[in-house]
Chains A and B, each alone.
Chain A
Amino acid sequence: MLSTYQYPKYDYVQPPEQKSGERKRHPVVVVGAGPVGLAAAIDLAQSGVPVVVLDDDDTVSVGSRGVCYAKRALEILDRIGAGDACVAKGVSWNVGRTFFREEEVYNFNLLPQPDHKRPGMVNLQQYYLEEFEVRRAQQLPKLDLRFRNKVVSVTSTAEGATLQVETPDGAYTIEADWLVVADGARSGIRKMMNLEIEGKVFTDRFLIADVVMKAEFPAERWFWFDPPFHPGHSVLLHRQADNVWRIDFQLGWQADPEEEKKPEKVIPRIKAMLGDEREFELEWVSVYTFQCRRMNDFRHGRLLFVGDVAHQVSPFGARGANSGIQDADNLGWKLKLVLDGLAPERLLDSYSEERIFAADENLLNSTRSTDFITPKSKASLTFRNAVLTLARDHAFARTLVNSGRLSVPCFLTKSRLNTPDTDAFAGDMIPGAPMDDAPLQEDGQDCWLLDRVGNRFMALVYVESAAAVDAAMTQAASTLAAAPIPVEVVLLAPTAGPPPAGLRVLEDVAGRFAERYDARPGTVYLLRPDQHVAGRWRAFDTARIEAALARATCNAQ
């Protein structure tokens, strides 16, 4: 029982096929209603694909677990209709401070530049995130969310999968053309299928305590190396919603997890940190260890693995749920195109390739942070402390301080879906880049770029003024819009002016689009449904857009 949060209890309803005894085949079944399975199911259902979600439980994450949701995950949550609730409830922050012993040695700002809709990070207990996603899922008529449906066996074939499911009413069988496996780090399905997950286990233990207290500390991430109140180890402090604070104490491998969880052990640690006078209440305590590992392939025939089942990282960097939500973002549109017969199954191999590329970056960064935070040898500890000592006075050493490189999206530079640049561009919005946001206006109303793109392919065409658009371009736009995989052409202009018939115009009021995308009159960006750049050119050319679209959907010869 938590004092600040009441766990929702979702109703179990007997599944229709169990009632009727009839076997049913569904285009997509998702196993697991954690943050990642829910994101995948919502994305598919809102794009029109009927989805069944099976979860063995009837509530949300027990204990707060994940805390930090990064800008990119929030943008994806916006796209699937759950972003506002998370940001409204959560604590937004951008600044992190790092202390060595008694002194601050380094601080960072996740979002040094203004003009982005979302902050660098929002802190929110994982149960809220899941509750908001469930709420969104329950609004979608195509989404059939089944609680207390435990998958006990999976048989996979070339055409799909057959599952045995247990409910309070007994067992039933369900069939799927495609199975999205999102059953978490301890995945039963991965084991049943004898699929390997490889990597390294770290020999360290961490105590996490969620405490309720009134405190005026700013909404920032505070990290201590070797503080006087917890010598020899690290401590991390985060503010969450409802005056709940997350404190994370490194304990070392020798610590006894059962002993350390006892309030009589935990409370003195917190008192040493906060000082004796501050009143607080323990909300939730747990001791965890972690692993850094991933599966060799995220696709096995008709089984698609997303989230923790496919990859696990250390929590330093908050890359777990954040990267899992990006898996869902990458998978949804591809699976829909394959289901609609508009792209070959090969497109789903690109899901595995792109997300493995991202997972490796996440693993690399979280492993490096872990090695810095918990040095494995005396030489490594000496270097670590030398960096921290120099960091106080010297800028070069500050960039080496690694108290967690927080989740940022991966640039999918190696993806075969990208059309490589043939024209010269400055800046980072290269093919494979996750899109940068920008403040815009449409029809005189303020809006954000990322709220205006996604869910479909789009070509953004930057023009001097909308009036300058000729009939040939208007004609090309309607050709692209009428193709089997439509591309919506949208104009971007420094000032709007009257739009030509049938074309939308976004106004780059602050000039941030031009700046961030190195746009000049004539510049064209082809964008994927998951808000990544597929290709870009200095002049509008229908044939090149069509070729890049074919490439981005594995339809090229």
Chain B
Amino acid sequence: MPLNLKPNFAEPGKRYFRAYTPGDDFYEALIETHRDLSDEQSALVNAKLVLLLSNHIGDLSVLREAMQIARQDV
């Protein structure tokens, strides 16, 4: 399966009336994860997040595609 670049956030059992709500729920949780951390601590948290999620995805072809997009224009 290629990397999914379409909106894909949702929480099972939750009903949404506005298309932006699941993405906003995710984004808030993400920023909250970094609350009160120093820049260095935040960088470490982000690294751990990438590792955890990468393992969950597992498929290296998908991960390579994501890595390549992430590196563009940096």
Query: Which positions in A face B, CB cutoff 8 Å?
Result: 365, 368, 371-372, 377-380, 383, 387, 389-390, 394-396, 399-400, 402, 405, 408, 411, 413, 428
Contacts and interface: CB of A to CB of B under 8 A. Distances in A.
B20 A395 contact: no
Contact of A368 (B6, B28, B42): B28
A379 B8 contact: no
Given A365-B24, A379-B37, A396 B8 contact: yes
Nearest to A409: B17
Contacts of B8: 396
Contacts of B9: 399
Contacts of B43: 379
Nearest to A365: B24
Interface of B: 4-9, 15, 17-20, 23-24, 26-28, 30-31, 34, 37, 39, 42-43, 46, 69, 73
B23 to A, nearest CB: 4
B24 A395 contact: no
Contacts of B5: 394-396
8 contacts: A368-B24, A368-B28, A379-B39, A379-B42, A379-B43, A380-B34, A390-B69, A405-B20
Given A380-B31, A383-B31, A389 B6 contact: no
Nearest to B24: A368
B44 to A, nearest CB: 11
A418 B56 CA distance: 41
Nearest to A389: B73
Per CB-CB distance, the 6 closest pairs between chain A and chain B, nearest first, are: A379-B42, A379-B34, A399-B23, A399-B7, A394-B5, A400-B23
B73 to A, nearest CB: 6
B69 to A, nearest CB: 8
Contact of B6 (A378, A379, A390, A395): A395
A428 B6 CA distance: 23
A372 B27 contact: yes
Contacts of B31: 371, 379-380, 383
Given A371-B31, A394-B69, 7 more contacts: A378-B42, A379-B42, A387-B27, A389-B73, A396-B4, A396-B5, A402-B27
Nearest to B30: A383
B42 A396 contact: no
Nearest to B35: A377
B6 A396 contact: yes
A402 B24 contact: yes
Contacts of A395: 5-7
B34 A377 contact: yes
A413 B14 CA distance: 12
Contacts of A428: 17
Contacts of A383: 27, 30-31
A52 to B, nearest CB: 38
Contact of B7 (A365, A387, A396, A408): A396
A365 B23 CA distance: 12
A365 B43 CA distance: 27
A377 B69 CA distance: 25
A408 B18 contact: yes
